[in-house]
Amino acid sequence: MPRMKFDLLHNDPNSQARAGVVHTDHGAIETPIFMPVGTLATVKGLHQNELKDVVNPDIILANTYHLYLRPGTEILEKAGGVHKFMNWDRPVLTDSGGYQVYSLSANRKIKEAGVKFKSHIDGSYHFFTPESAMDIQRTIGADIIMAFDECTPYPCDYNYARRSMHMTHRWLKRCIDHFHNTPSKYGYNQTLFPIVQGSTYKDLRAQSAEFIANADQPGNAIGGLSVGEPAEEMYAMTEVVTAILPKDKPRYLMGVGTPINLLENVALGVDMFDCVMPTRNARNGMIFTVNGTMNVKNKKWADDFSPLDEHGTAWVDQYYSKAYVRHLFTVNEMLGKQICTLHNLTFYLWLMREARKHILAGDFRTWKDKMVKQMDNRL
Amino acid sequence: MPRMKFDLLHNDPNSQARAGVVHTDHGAIETPIFMPVGTLATVKGLHQNELKDVVNPDIILANTYHLYLRPGTEILEKAGGVHKFMNWDRPVLTDSGGYQVYSLSANRKIKEAGVKFKSHIDGSYHFFTPESAMDIQRTIGADIIMAFDECTPYPCDYNYARRSMHMTHRWLKRCIDHFHNTPSKYGYNQTLFPIVQGSTYKDLRAQSAEFIANADQPGNAIGGLSVGEPAEEMYAMTEVVTAILPKDKPRYLMGVGTPINLLENVALGVDMFDCVMPTRNARNGMIFTVNGTMNVKNKKWADDFSPLDEHGTAWVDQYYSKAYVRHLFTVNEMLGKQICTLHNLTFYLWLMREARKHILAGDFRTWKDKMVKQMDNRL
């Protein structure tokens, strides 16, 4: 099958921002893009058609570690892959489980061969290798498959970061070998993205970016950021890496971030993002708006009957009042989480589409600087 | 303002079933009807427009006790009533708090003057009287307001049931006096429904039905059932009561029940129902279908990729598979609850609309007997 194709449409003259299109067998992905997180083959609180019709993302994420444990690859294989299983016909990207393995900390052992870990569900032991991570993701049926890596914590000792990066590179070779020796499943093309590591060390990041660029896969990712480091360090690392990664392939910054983080990283040449923040914060009553963030649980909204977000583009923004949504959170009703999830994801996707428009129009930098200032605010 | 009007359209020749229309200032209610329960001004897990467009009930319920505690009458008054607060433009019926007071058992004291109770939220003390229950429901903005009654438990000592019934009757006089001495709020008509009590004693039920009929309000309710008594006892009580209550006014059986309970009570002349069962059971993975009930959590559905309910009329029934919905419950994802809630309520409302069609067509009895047999089944 042909390799995934990326059309780079426009470079912003005043930043590294780019507008492009990634072509997959499940449709085109217009970049820059934010990918909603559907860990367990569901974006929490949203029906698939709501996600499609209201939020309208070109691609979503699912999680290898979680889907491997439940429902398991046997069910996903019988279903004909995750798209059929959840009834979603656009592209799906799966992270490899590297991040979840990192999060398990006490419950995993990392060795050259792979990672032994204890299930957070039933305590059973499992072993992931670069090879098995490829097999599992092929069986899940992801359009974009992530390399199996080690995500280092922050802060991270230089020597540990260096050794870990080299192991991630060796693992990548095994991923690529195994990936290219196995066929795509379910009749559509599957693509592998390698991951740059190197913690917060510029020299390691540069070294890793060179290595990943040389692996010559159809797209590349930046991992190991958004793990607690200051935003300035994240931007510094992104800048080093995007200067090295090939321009003609999409760049995916994993696990990032706030709306401001997104715009700053778009300015540094990133094309794809994912993060649990818009969905997780929504479930805690925190929404992002064009004028800043808002804690809908605050007492000050108790008798504010104005729309949830006057400037919002999701139907919920005008349909429900601040007072009503605040009430739903006060009494712990699920509808509150549903409303804020729909709001936040719609806002994130709107923001990426606006960014794209401004890149294509050539005024991204001015718009970005204004937006970053405007959104850095508590309502 | 004019009294609420009820048009009795048709009587089934082979049962006591009736088809009618209740006219309110928020629109017509075609009976028989099932009223989804929106305790805290939200039907758990559904957006208001989803409820309207998919489930399509002519009326929903809200709860006096719960809304009084949160958000409180001050907020509801400022909002201009519950319809505006939650953005719902069809009729709303509020139960009076009698049932919740009964449920608090250890945390309330019932006296002739009224009921002192302890909030389940913060332990604060409150006092409900027949008069305050009217005021609170007027302020909530219900179209149909329920009399303040005592709901007796099952089983209930005869003497207690008799004394309690007489107190409920004395409370009804106070409700009626106060209700008719206070104006409707927010510019639309509000209507009071008295409640028949008398536990499972036929003589008390008959006596109470006479009393309630004589109160001559635009509609009447039957309370104190569905509190643990066998279905046959429930039906026996309904039969006694509907034989006495006026034919030209709607009859509301409170807190009932399973789909089979609904059909049997429709056959006994009941027009209106409410129950948490379709919504609560949905959140526990239990769905009702035309061929019986189904526990979607069962292992047997793990690899059954057929539609959730082949015969279902809700879009979710064909959109999601049994295996997928089972997975959502296994991993405790909110979407599972959302799907099953939408399914169950759509099924309940479909069942009531079918019942109405068959009453109007004259073959309700045969259809009902067939359906009761068919639905008494575990899938």
**Among A97-106, A298-307, B227-236, B354-363, where is mean pLDDT lowest?**
A97-106
Please state the domain count of chain B. Answer: 2
- A84 vs B106, residue with greater confidence: A84
pTM of the model: 0.98
B85 at A interface, C-beta within 8 A? yes
| Mean pLDDT score, A356-378 | 98
- A105 vs A4, residue with greater confidence: A4
B89 at A interface, C-beta within 8 A? no
Could you read off the pLDDT of A182-240 as tens digits, one per residue? Answer: 999 999 999 999 999 999 999 999 999 999 999 999 999 999 999 999 999 999 999 99
B82 at A interface, C-beta within 8 A? no
CATH number at residue A236: 3.20.20.105
**CB nearest to B330's CB, from A70, A303, A339:** A70
The verdict on B260 and B370 lying in the same domain is no
- Quote the tokens at residue A166: 């080299």
Chain A, nearest residue to B325 by Cα: A86
Residue A107 banded pLDDT, cuts 50, 70, 90: confident
The verdict on A374 and A252 lying in the same domain is no
Binding annotation of B for substrate: 95-99, 149, 197, 224
Q: Give strand ranges (E) for B12-121.
A: 18-24, 27-31, 33-35, 60-63, 92-95, 108-110, 115-118
Best A299, A329, A331, A340 member to test B by mutation, with max B CBs in 10 Å, is A331
List chain A residues with CB under 8 Å of B46.
Answer: 335
Residues spanned by the domain of B368: 276-379
A41 at B interface, C-beta within 8 A? yes
Residue B254 CB contacts under 8 Å (≥ 6 apart), including other chains: B95, B99, B146, B195, B221, B222, B223, B225, B226, B274
Could you read off the pLDDT of B70-103 as tens digits, one per residue? Answer: 999 999 999 999 999 999 999 999 999 878 877 8
Going by DSSP bridges, is the β-strand pair A144-146/B5-11 parallel, antiparallel, or unpaired?
Answer: unpaired
B306 at A interface, C-beta within 8 A? no
Q: Supply the pLDDT for residue B53.
A: 97
Looking at B228, B255, B274, which one is the last position of a domain? B274
Q: Supply the pLDDT for residue A104.
A: 80
Strand partners, A251: A220
B17 at A interface, C-beta within 8 A? no
Residue A3 banded pLDDT, cuts 50, 70, 90: confident
The verdict on B280 and B215 lying in the same domain is no
**CB nearest to A47's CB, from B78, B323, B338:** B338
Instruction: Please pick, among A58, A95, A143, A309, the residue that the annotation labels catalytic.
Output: A95
Q: Supply the pLDDT for residue B1.
A: 56
Q: How many CA atoms lie within 13 A of B171 on its CB side?
A: 33
Please check the confidence at residue B218 and state whether its pLDDT lies above 90. yes
Indicate yes or no: CB of B335 within 8 angstroms of CB of A302.
no
Looking at A242, A274, A306, which one is the last position of a domain? A274
Q: Which one-letter amino acid corresponds to residue B236?
A: A
List chain B residues with CB under 8 Å of A41.
Answer: 324, 327
Instruction: Please pick, among A58, A143, A271, A274, the residue that the annotation labels catalytic.
Output: A274
Could you read off the pLDDT of A108-129 as tens digits, one per residue? Answer: 899 999 999 999 899 999 999 9
Chain B, nearest residue to A335 by Cα: B45
Question: What is the percent of chain A where pLDDT is above 70?
Answer: 99
The verdict on B93 and B153 lying in the same domain is yes
The verdict on A303 and A205 lying in the same domain is no
Please state, in angstroms and rounded to a whole number, the distance separating the CA atoms of residues A215 and A149: 14
Do you know the residue count of chain A? Answer: 379
User: How close is the nearest chain B Cα to the Cα of A283, in Å?
Assistant: 11
The verdict on A291 and A268 lying in the same domain is no
> Mean pLDDT score of chain A, rounded to an integer?
97
- Of the candidates B56, B41, B36, which has an alpha carbon nearest to the alpha carbon of residue B353? B56
Residue B376 among the catalytic residues: no
Q: Supply the pLDDT for residue B101.
A: 78
The verdict on B250 and B283 lying in the same domain is no
> Mean pLDDT score of chain B, rounded to an integer?
97
Best A70, A140, A330, A333 member to test B by mutation, with max B CBs in 10 Å, is A333
Indicate yes or no: CB of A71 within 8 angstroms of CB of B334.
no
The verdict on B300 and B331 lying in the same domain is yes
| Mean pLDDT score, B181-199 | 97
CB contact at 8 A, A252 and A273 = yes
B323 at A interface, C-beta within 8 A? yes
B360 at A interface, C-beta within 8 A? no
Residue A95 among the catalytic residues: yes
Chain B, nearest residue to A76 by Cα: B303
The verdict on B240 and B333 lying in the same domain is no
The verdict on A330 and A225 lying in the same domain is no
- Quote the tokens at residue A154: 């922050």
Please check the confidence at residue B168 and state whether its pLDDT lies above 60. yes
A374 at B interface, C-beta within 8 A? no
Please check the confidence at residue A352 and state whether its pLDDT lies above 60. yes
Please check the confidence at residue B13 and state whether its pLDDT lies above 60. yes
Indicate yes or no: CB of B333 within 8 angstroms of CB of A42.
yes
Residue A103 banded pLDDT, cuts 50, 70, 90: confident
Chain B, nearest residue to A78 by Cα: B303
The verdict on A357 and A312 lying in the same domain is yes
Indicate yes or no: CB of A338 within 8 angstroms of CB of B333.
no
Does ipTM top 0.95? yes
Alpha-helical runs (H) found in chain B = 48-50, 64-69, 73-79, 82-86, 98-104, 130-140, 158-180, 202-214, 231-244, 259-267, 277-283, 315-319, 322-330, 334-361, 364-375
Indicate yes or no: CB of B333 within 8 angstroms of CB of A40.
yes
B120 at A interface, C-beta within 8 A? no
| Mean pLDDT score, B125-147 | 97
Residue A174 banded pLDDT, cuts 50, 70, 90: very high
Chain A, nearest residue to B331 by Cα: A70
The verdict on B265 and B328 lying in the same domain is no
Instruction: Please pick, among B12, B58, B95, B309, the residue that the annotation labels catalytic.
Output: B95
Please check the confidence at residue A1 and state whether its pLDDT lies above 60. no
- What are the angstrom distances between the C-alpha of B358 and each of A92, B34, B334, B363? 47, 16, 36, 5
Please check the confidence at residue A2 and state whether its pLDDT lies above 80. no
Looking at A274, A293, A326, which one is the last position of a domain? A274
List chain A residues with CB under 8 Å of B52.
Answer: none
